[in-house]
Structure 1
Amino acid sequence: MSEELTKVTHIDNVRLGDDERSVVIIDQTQLPNRTEYLTLRTVQEMYDAIKLLKVRGAPAIGICAGYCMYALARQIDTDDFDYFVTTFCRYKDYLNSSRPTAVNLSWALNRMDRVLDRGQGDEDLGDVLDALGDECRAIHREDIEMCRAISEYGLSLLKDGDGLLTHCNAGPLATSRYGTALGPMFLGKEKGMEFHVFSDETRPLLQGARLTSYELQKAGIDVTLICDNMASIVMKNGWINACLVGCDRIAANGDAANKIGTSGVAILAKHYGIPFYVLGPTSTIDMSCATGDDIEIELRDPEEIKNKFYAEPQALAEVKCYNPAFDVTDHSLITAIVTEKGICYPPFSDSLAALFAGDK
């Protein structure tokens, strides 16, 4: 693998601080013009980092949440086990309220919480802290393995020279290694394959423009940035062989929540007969959520539409805005869902359930 490709695919975007009482992240709101690292020490700083998208991408949020809970646990100065648990749970609930749609946040927080359940009866805080440290590192390690597996499965659906379209950002910055939706592109590049990728800018926060095109360009992958409303014409022109997107939550029937605008891409792909693939870890599959109608959609500040990235407001102050962060792509529009355990095809209610058939 070339040095430049390694720098992109193995970026150290979330890690535990050396003191193990803090978390260090790349501030994704500053990219692509500045690479700035933030050290998060307080629960408020951690909440704000997730809420304000300084760390984003469902898997990366999960990794960050695990490290945050461990760092905060080490800051709880007490020998009283009950007080420790009460404080820990208060921190957990607060972080969990930062972003409601991405299931990896609650998934990681609940994993850390279960460590406390296993510690009940022992009540040796030193052992509990060690176990929490092991768990947060396991979350990160498993994500690295997951990204590689998803990339391999996803790559099996592509061929050398394909034109690909992606929406939002599901690369290394959103995960730990390679990424989910972008993973096959990076892995293919590593294996000598060439793709031409069209990256939707992804309004209103421009993750596709600021992050996806940045990652692909730095890796030497042929990328063309397009406005969101240009997806139809590049499909009609015959330039797209497949669409690859990530996901923040997948319902039991295969409905998938992803960054706002994703469902529109899926509808266009269906019209033009282009495969539409959703790539994500099994941790984003919420089998307790029957359909996409049960997924809570995060609503964000209207000022992101009117003011963000503009020197002057682009609408009158009194104009109302509707700013959902996500939409849900109906399972009927999805060709396949790619996970680290394999590729799921319709009917997704059966194939997704099969992924968890052996779990207790």
Structure 2
Amino acid sequence: MVNLQSRSLRVYADALEYLDQTRLPQAEEWVRCDSPDAWQHAVKHLAIRGAPLIGLSAAFVLAQYAARHPESEWQAVSDRLRATRPTAVNLMYCLDAMEACFAQGANALAERAKALFEEDRALCQRMAERGADLLASGDRVLTHCNTGALATAGVGTAIGALAIAKQRGIDLHVYVDETRPLLQGGRLTAWEMADLGIPYQLITDSMAASLMAAGKVDKVMVGADRICANGDFANKVGTYMLAVAAHYHQVPFYVVAPYTTVDPACATGAAIPIEQRDGAEVRGAAGAFGEVVWAPSDAPVWNPAFDVTPAKLVTAWILDTGVFDSAAIARGEHLRGWR
């Protein structure tokens, strides 16, 4: 019996299932995950992805492990999970919340994981509604990576705003960056746009600036994996060049994320750890379609999973707690009420 379910996660009493996001859009395949090792493998291979979903799934894996191994060292397992994805702070937020319950036992961990899941649903709804408030019929919106229901427990972050706008009858046209190197935009966001019934066109990442120069983009909306105290933020690599292009072409650039993505302890983007991934992801591609290699097999590769966008390039930060401009960020208003 499923206890909790989102678009890409099913939680049972003793295990969870995830929708393998490496198989989309060709196949919707649910995979059982019943151990920390299985979770780490899924996250490293991006079968489980999206900063909020990574944190939530880790919470359930830890709670279920604790229920099966009441006498083991839970902290060591939590530390292993924490080290899997160093950039996205949502993972740290969820594991911090779980560790605070260790003294109360396994049942408390299970209840805390459930509360985190429900919290994320509510956060998604609030930030998506705030984002939709900034959209108008006829807007042409450019987005990057995948920030929809696949990546969260709820409607999503940036794509959540598009989904709420659609529900309100706001007519949009969305440009979807394919998002190198694993094509999360081309595979996942395009799939979600079709599912939501929102008209879209898929572009390569390198086409975005030309699209803006042609006057075809009204707004850019992206998600975030970590927002610093000064407003700098990390997101899927390629976001920074979008922000530079948007700034040059005077296109509003919005970051949509929950307060759980804000890291008050991280002063600036220079302090964000950036995950480096396997060079094979750039030399070729693999997925439900098979595997192809287009570069020399020994080609040296630099493959950061994320880049950092300076706060000065952002028009506004859309959080569940409010919409903040650069002056509000400078005053630290996005940090007030942070738990």
Q: TM-score, normalised by structure 2?
A: 0.95
Task: Give the counterpart letter for 2:333 in structure 1.
Answer: A
Mapping of 1:266-345 within 5 angstroms? 266-309=243-286, 311-345=291-325
Identical-residue share of aligned pairs (%): 38
Q: Which has the larger radius of gyration?
A: 1
3-state secondary structure, aligned to 1:89: helix
Query: Which one of 77, 86, 91 corresponds to residue 100 of structure 1?
Result: 86
Name whichever of 250-259 and 307-316 sits farther off.
307-316
Match of 1:59 in 2: 52
Match of 1:191 in 2: 168
Cα deviation for residue 15 of structure 1 reads 2.8
Query: Which one of 11, 14, 35 corresponds to residue 9 of structure 2?
Result: 14
TM-aligned CA distance change 1:21 to 1:248, over 3 Å: same
The answer to whether the aligner puts 1:34 opposite 2:27 as a matched pair is yes
Cα deviation for residue 357 of structure 1 reads 2.9
Cα deviation for residue 350 of structure 1 reads 3.4
The answer to whether the aligner puts 1:250 opposite 2:230 as a matched pair is no
Q: Across the two proteins, how many residue pairs are aligned to each other?
A: 332
Question: Does the 8 Å contact 1:298/1:326 carry over to 2?
Answer: yes
TM-aligned CA distance change 1:102 to 1:48, over 3 Å: same
Can you give the 5+ residue segments of structure 1 that lack an aligned partner in the other structure? 1-9, 79-83, 120-127
3-state secondary structure, aligned to 1:217: helix
Cα deviation for residue 347 of structure 1 reads 3.0
2:338, 2:301 → 1: CA distance? 44
Can you give the 5+ residue segments of structure 2 that lack an aligned partner in the other structure? none
Cα deviation for residue 21 of structure 1 reads 2.1
Cα deviation for residue 13 of structure 1 reads 1.1
Question: Does the 8 Å contact 1:21/1:70 carry over to 2?
Answer: no
Task: Give the counterpart letter for 1:33 in structure 2.
Answer: Q
Cα deviation for residue 199 of structure 1 reads 0.2
1:323, 1:162 → 2: CA distance? 33
Cα deviation for residue 150 of structure 1 reads 0.5
Task: Give the counterpart letter for 2:199 in structure 1.
Answer: D
Question: Does the 8 Å contact 2:229/2:335 carry over to 1?
Answer: no
1:181-236 per-position Cα deviation (integer Å, ceiling 9, x unaligned)? 11111011111111000000001100000000100011110010001111012111
TM-aligned CA distance change 1:40 to 1:311, over 3 Å: closer
Mapping of 1:38-117 within 5 angstroms? 38-78=31-71, 84=72, 87-117=73-103
The answer to whether the aligner puts 1:237 opposite 2:214 as a matched pair is yes
Match of 1:354 in 2: 333
* Cα RMSD, aligned residues only: 1.5
1:208, 1:37 → 2: CA distance? 20
Cα deviation for residue 349 of structure 1 reads 4.2
Question: Does the 8 Å contact 2:143/2:220 carry over to 1?
Answer: yes
2:186, 2:138 → 1: CA distance? 22
Q: TM-score, normalised by structure 1?
A: 0.89
3-state secondary structure, aligned to 2:276: coil
